């Protein structure tokens, strides 16, 4: 039972290692069997003039010939198959995959943090055939950190990995969520990669905080997918993702981030230019210009709050 439990644990944690181990055991068994057929000898009933029993090969020439072919062919095709498998696994996924780890915390069946995030993300991306929301079905602890999360994402060919933990006291609840992307995407203007919420325990028990967190993670995911599509110059898809991200913002106080709005206007303008829709492209660029002007003024106000004078004539 102990060996069986260890094998099951290995299969859950390292499925690739488990598969290769089984394959190696199977290959070894086949090669031993073929070698037995090829080289097995048996004593003859007759003896030499000195009284010694002679030996001959146990199996027929035909059987030994097929065993030799097997000894050559089985390793060749096995290694060729494994090499092909690794090559296929190394190819980039045709889908954008979002990987969600189990959130570590007490009474997961009661608070349903992971399930709420999964459900909301699947709803938010349900119309996109090239987006896949996948549950990792294991916990990534704070001790393991971002490195392990990115490794898991790489193994699963995921563009985004969500992981975190929650804790509850008699009065308050705390949820920390990490939003990981591959290093090649870290140059994008993505929102903050970590968020910690401390709320009244009642919000955790009534699923209010799970709903809020799920909405924010959906927003982050859609924005990131929009940036990915924008970088690939797939402006129509980027527009769709950015626009859907707007729907995750429930109130004016939670308005879409200026950088996201800027990319949305720029994507719309770029798509319109490709279709030679000049008036629409001009309108989107005008909206972008106004947004940048507003943000510039807000930035000036913040500087003045901190006693920094702004020379408006230099603009």
In a domain, 105, yes or no: yes
Domain boundary among 222, 242, 262: 222
- What percentage of the chain reaches a pLDDT higher than 70? 77
Number of CB atoms found within 10 A of residue 78's CB:
16
Mean pLDDT of 94-105: 88
Residue 43 confidence (pLDDT) above 90:
no
- Average model confidence (pLDDT) for the chain? 80
Q: Do 189 and 111 fall within a single domain?
A: yes
In a domain, 57, yes or no: no
Task: Dump pLDDT digits (tens) for 116-144.
Answer: 889 989 998 998 888 899 999 899 999 99
In a domain, 211, yes or no: yes
Q: Do 101 and 201 fall within a single domain?
A: yes
Q: How far apart are CA 261 and CA 266, in angstroms?
A: 9
User: What are the residues facing 99 on neighbouring strands?
Assistant: 134, 161
In a domain, 34, yes or no: no
Q: Do 161 and 241 fall within a single domain?
A: no
In a domain, 279, yes or no: yes
Q: Do 136 and 255 fall within a single domain?
A: no
Q: Do 140 and 204 fall within a single domain?
A: yes
Number of domains in the chain: 2
Q: Residue 304: what pLDDT? A: 66
Q: Do 190 and 143 fall within a single domain?
A: yes
Q: What is the 3-state secondary structure (H, E, C) of the chain?
A: CHHHHHHHHHHHHCHHHHHHHHHHHHHHHHHHHHHHHHHCEEEEEEECCCCCEEEEECCCHHHHHHHHHHHHHHHHHHHHHHHHHHHHHHCCCCCEEEEEEECECCCHHHHCHHHHHHHHHHHHCCCCCCEEEEEEEEECCCCCHHHHHHHHHHHCCCCEEEEEEEEECCCEEEEEEEEECCHHHCCCCCCCCEEEEEEEHHHHHCCHHHHHHHHHHHHHHHHHHHHHHHHCCCHHHHHHHHHHHHHCCCCHHHCCCHHHHHHHHHHHHHHHHHCCCHHHHHHHHHHHHHHHHHHHHHHHHHHHHCCCCCCHHHC
Contact 215, 250 (CB under 8 A): yes
In a domain, 198, yes or no: yes
Report strand pairing: 96-102 vs 131-139: parallel
Domain that holds residue 289: 233-315
Confidence category of residue 49, pLDDT binned at 50, 70, 90: low
Confidence category of residue 252, pLDDT binned at 50, 70, 90: very low
Q: Residue 161: what pLDDT? A: 92
Residue 288 confidence (pLDDT) above 90:
no
Q: Do 107 and 191 fall within a single domain?
A: yes
In a domain, 59, yes or no: no
Domain boundary among 222, 247, 263: 222
In a domain, 75, yes or no: no
Q: Which has the higher per-residue pLDDT, 172 or 310?
A: 172
Q: Residue 271: what pLDDT? A: 87
Q: Residue 253: what pLDDT? A: 45
Residue 219 confidence (pLDDT) above 60:
yes
Q: Do 106 and 216 fall within a single domain?
A: yes
Confidence category of residue 85, pLDDT binned at 50, 70, 90: confident
Q: Do 104 and 180 fall within a single domain?
A: yes
Q: Do 100 and 216 fall within a single domain?
A: yes
Confidence category of residue 192, pLDDT binned at 50, 70, 90: low
- What percentage of the chain reaches a pLDDT higher than 90? 12
Q: How far apart are CA 315 and CA 293, in angstroms?
A: 11
Confidence category of residue 53, pLDDT binned at 50, 70, 90: low
Whether the pTM exceeds 0.85: the reply is no
Contacts 24+ apart (CB under 8 A), 37-45: 37/63, 37/64, 37/66, 37/67, 38/64, 38/67, 38/68, 38/71
Task: Dump pLDDT digits (tens) for 54-75.
Answer: 677 888 889 889 989 998 998 8
Q: Do 189 and 109 fall within a single domain?
A: yes
Q: What is the largest CA-CA distance in the chain?
A: 118
Domain boundary among 175, 198, 222: 222
Q: Residue 82: what pLDDT? A: 82
Q: Residue 118: what pLDDT? A: 92
Q: Do 208 and 259 fall within a single domain?
A: no
């Amino acid at each position: 039972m102990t060996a069986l439990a260890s094998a099951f644990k290995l299969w859950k944690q390292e499925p690739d290692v488990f598969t290769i181990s089984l394959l190696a055991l199977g290959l070894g068994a086949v090669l031993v069997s073929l070698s037995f057929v090829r080289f097995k000898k048996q004593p003859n009933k007759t003896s030499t003039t000195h009284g010694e029993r002679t030996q001959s090969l146990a199996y027929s020439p035909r059987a030994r010939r097929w065993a030799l072919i097997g000894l050559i062919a089985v390793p060749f095709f096995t290694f060729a198959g494994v090499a092909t498998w690794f090559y296929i696994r190394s190819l980039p996924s045709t889908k954008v995959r979002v990987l969600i780890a189990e959130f570590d915390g007490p009474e997961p069946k009661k608070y349903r943090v992971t399930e709420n995030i999964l459900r909301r993300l699947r709803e938010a991306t349900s119309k996109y055939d090239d987006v896949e929301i996948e549950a990792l079905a294991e916990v990534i602890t704070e001790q393991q950190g971002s490195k392990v999360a990115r490794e898991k994402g790489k193994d699963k060919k995921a563009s985004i990995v969500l992981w975190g933990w929650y804790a509850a006291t008699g009065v308050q609840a705390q949820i920390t969520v990490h939003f990981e992307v591959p290093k090649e995407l870290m140059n994008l203007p993505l929102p903050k990669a970590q968020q910690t919420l401390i709320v009244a325990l009642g919000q955790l028990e009534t699923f209010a905080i799970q709903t809020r967190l799920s909405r924010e993670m959906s927003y982050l995911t859609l924005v990131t997918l929009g940036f990915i599509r924008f970088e690939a110059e797939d402006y129509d898809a980027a527009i769709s993702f950015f626009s859907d991200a707007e729907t995750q913002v429930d109130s004016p106080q939670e308005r879409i981030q200026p950088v996201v709005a800027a990319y949305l206007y720029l994507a719309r303008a770029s798509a319109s230019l490709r279709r030679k829709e000049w008036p629409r492209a001009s309108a989107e660029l005008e909206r972008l210009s106004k947004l940048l002007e507003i943000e510039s003024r807000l930035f000036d106000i913040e500087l003045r709050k901190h006693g920094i004078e702004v020379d408006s004539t230099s603009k």
